[in-house]
Amino acid sequence: MAESAASGHSKSSPLKLYFGVWATLLVLTFVTYRVAYLELGPFNSVVALVIASIKATLVALFFMHVWHASEKLTKLVIVAALFFLLLLLGLTMADYATRTWS
Amino acid sequence: MGMPTVVPQQRFERETYLNKEYGIWSWLLTTDHKRIALLYLISITFFFFIGGFFALLIRLELLTPAGDLVQADTYNKLFTQHGMVMVFFFLIPSIPATLGNFLVPMMVGAKDLAFPRINLLSWYLYIIGGIIMLHCMLTGGVDTGWTFYVPFSSNFTNTKFVEAGIAIFIAGFSSILTGLNFVVTIHRMRAPGMTWSRLPLFIWAHYATSIIQLLGTPVVAITIVLVACERALHLGIFDPKLGGDPVLFQHLFWFYSHPAVYIMILPAMGVVTEIIPCFSRKRIFGYQFVALSSIAIAVFGFLVWAHHMFVAGISVYSALVFSFLSYAVALPSAIKVFNWTATLYKGSIRYDAPMLYAFGFLGLFTIGGLSGLFLAALGINVHVTDTYFVVAHFHYIMVGGAVMGYLGGMHFWWPKISGKLYPEGWARLAALIVFIGFNLTFFPQFVLGYLGMPRRYYDYSHMPEFQVLNVLSTAGATVLGVGYLLPMVYFLWSMRYGKPASDNPWNAAGLEWKTASPPPTFNFDEEPVVTWEAYNYDELDAPPQAQEVTVA
Ligand code: HEM
Ligand SMILES: [Cu+2]
């Protein structure tokens, strides 16, 4: 599966791609660390979460071969996982958002 | 590998998965799903008796109102270890890892699971987790309750929480791997003609279970890691002093643990759905409804978790929604109960041991499910939460439902697994003892809880009027213990002295009955081709002459 993804898609070798993704992840980690020292108020968390999501997406797409996966089952698994993650976050936040005391 | 040529004497020395190879390594390094199922069977039985031992001590302590048998701290450890062992090391792997492992490939007509080595890995992970848990128990144990709520688990307990957490974390991965294997096997390895609508409902139930294992287990694993991080590194996740929120823990924990209760009950529902048509000699009533209700349970099971948190300070609006959704999730279970009952209607019912367990399941699961509806009603919940009513509710489902289903399945498929018949009279007696012992143990707990006896108390001397019901419950637990020991004794006995089983002793439908008992290593001598619908009992029972003129 990895081979077909590599040959069908990018002209560079898969190894280069993997190192590229790895470097990007390291850069993003560094960015997270630097941004944590800026005074952005509530946006500190927002930025950190956005960067973390981008990193997770990169890992799933390239290291877990979701990019160019031919298998429908793989896609189904991804969609289902995201859907249930949204349920977890959505219903939990709904609790916090509607508490009438505090 | 090479098929044995048919030589007359070989009729008795037929090669099976059991006699193909001998020696400890042929078991510990096997990738045969049937042998791995037996490895799991031995291991979960071991943990079942450990968990049962703790239960016995709990019941002995509660025999008298005073806290006289053990210290308060010890009592906390007893119910914690009982819950952790029973939930994570017995009930979650019980049916999927033993009967599921054994039967899923055979029922879909495959040679093995999709990833045989991952299957073996899952058993090793389970064993590693189990050894860590044993070590934890032998060196002091944990006292947080199986739910390990913060802030007690993160900031206060001085018992071995982190070690227990690691054990559960690792065992969780074994559960994920089993689920993964089942999903891929069911999608990719079905025999020709085995369409989705011809799959046995046992397979649909395991498919739904696997979905929950895959989607839910990572959440509890992460939750354990977060608690451990807070404990060790003082990260502010659940502690308000550090900017965290303790209720968040409960959200995360129950997001897994409510669906996890369905990991325990769905496979038992699958077992019962195989047994009832066979012993009523009828096709299952409403195949599609039973199949899709399994999927509905898996999905809607993820939408009700906060019914465990009604008194934890969640938003009133949230509580209303979760209460409503909890009622909704009972519907697919009710659909199943109605379909089983309709299958029985006008069937030619036989009362063999597996069917007795299936009947037990039906009644006890229904009581457990209905008491769940009581608990899901906000007003009643406030009254009975954290009382013995809750304890009775989930034991009716987990022990009365899941363990009954497990035992029913063990009896039903024992001839296939071992190639031997168990003694039917003893088996019926054991089923009866289990049923009586169970109700004697847990029905009084409904009453106790309703009257206000809190759970997790070791000393109730300020309310001595509760003693009578507690004595009944302890007496029942003793009976139940005998009922559980019996099958283990006669199963072992039958391996040596039992009569040889034919390939299909129950005249049951399903591919697993079309191969030998015990099956050959690759399950079938030739790849099966399926041309019939599931549960075709009308065709199986048709007299041979009539079969030749099958037109009408
Ligand atoms: C089908 C299998 C089910 C199982 C295995 C199961 C298991 C459990 C368990 C283990 C608990 C106790 C958790 C704890 O406090 O430690 C519990 C509590 C509860 N169950 Fe169930 N349950 C099932 C079905 C249901 C259903 C169908 C409903 C409602 C529609 C339900 C409603 C509840 C509620 C509301 C509680 C919380 C009680 C409280 O602590 O206040 N359960 N159940
Ligand atoms: Cu629940």
What chain B holds in terms of domains, given with CATH numbers, is 30-551 (1.20.210.10)
The answer, yes or no, to whether any atom of ligand 1 lies below 6 A from the CB of B385, is: yes
d(CA A30, CA A76): 33
* pLDDT on residue B545: 60
Asked if residue A29 and residue A18 are part of one domain, the reply reads yes
pLDDT tens-digit readout, B28-75? 999 999 999 999 999 999 999 999 999 999 999 999 999 889 999 999
Q: Cβ–Cβ of A91/B187 closer than 8 Å?
A: no
Asked if residue A88 and residue A100 are part of one domain, the reply reads yes
pLDDT tens-digit readout, B388-406? 999 999 999 999 999 999 9
Residues spanned by the domain of A96: 71-102
d(CA B435, CA B479): 10
* pLDDT on residue A102: 53
Q: How far is the CA of B326 from the centre of ligand 2 (A)?
A: 8
Give the residue from B291, B275, B390 showing the smallest Cα distance to B336: B291
φ/ψ (deg, to 5) at B15 = -80, 125
Asked if residue A61 and residue A96 are part of one domain, the reply reads no
Asked if residue A58 and residue A22 are part of one domain, the reply reads yes
Nearest chain A Cα to B319, which residue?
A95
pLDDT tens-digit readout, B277-329? 999 999 999 999 999 999 999 999 999 999 999 999 899 999 999 999 999 99
Q: Over the Cα atoms of chain A, what is R_g?
A: 18
Is the four-CA dihedral B504, B507, B510, B511 of positive or negative sign? Answer: positive
Asked if residue A80 and residue A64 are part of one domain, the reply reads no
* pLDDT on residue A7: 43
* pLDDT, chain B, mean: 93
Phi-psi group of B190: left, alpha or beta (phi > 0 → left; psi -120 to 50 → alpha; rest → beta): beta
Residue nearest to atom 39 of ligand 1 (CA): B385
In one letter, which amino acid is B539? E
Give the residue from B208, B312, B209, B295 showing the smallest Cα distance to B254: B312
Q: How far is the CA of B371 from the centre of ligand 1 (A)?
A: 9
| Cβ atoms within 10 Å of B115's Cβ, excluding its own | 16
Q: Cβ–Cβ of A80/B251 closer than 8 Å?
A: no
Beta bridge partners of B387: B454
B273, B201 contact by CB (below 8 A): yes
According to DSSP, residue B198 is labeled G
Whether A21 shows a pLDDT value over 90: the answer reads yes
B341 close contact with A: CB closer than 8 A:
no
pLDDT tens-digit readout, A45-81? 899 999 999 999 999 999 988 888 777 888 888 888 8
Say how many domains are in chain A.
2
Asked if residue A1 and residue A18 are part of one domain, the reply reads yes
Asked if residue A79 and residue A62 are part of one domain, the reply reads no
Asked if residue A23 and residue A60 are part of one domain, the reply reads yes
d(CA B412, CA B394): 25
At residue A100 the predicted structure's pLDDT band, cuts being 50, 70 and 90, is confident
Asked if residue A76 and residue A32 are part of one domain, the reply reads no
Long-range contacts of B341-345 (CB under 8 A, 24+ apart): B342/B285, B342/B286, B343/B276, B343/B277, B343/B280, B343/B282, B343/B283, B343/B284, B343/B285, B344/B276, B344/B280, B345/B285
What Cα–Cα distance (Å) separates residue B516 from each residue in B6, B408, B411, B420? 15, 21, 17, 12
Whether A11 shows a pLDDT value over 80: the answer reads no
Q: How far is the CA of B311 from the centre of ligand 2 (A)?
A: 14
* pLDDT on residue B12: 58
CB within 8 A of B353, min separation 6: which ones?
B408, B411, B422, B424, B427, B428, B430, B431
Asked if residue A54 and residue A78 are part of one domain, the reply reads no
Whether A94 shows a pLDDT value over 60: the answer reads yes
| Cβ atoms within 10 Å of A32's Cβ, excluding its own | 16
Where chain B has pLDDT below 50, the residues are 1-10, 547, 549-552
Q: Cβ–Cβ of B315/A99 closer than 8 Å?
A: yes
* pLDDT on residue B6: 45
Asked if residue A84 and residue A61 are part of one domain, the reply reads no
d(CA A71, CA B390): 44
Asked if residue A43 and residue A87 are part of one domain, the reply reads no
* pLDDT on residue B449: 96
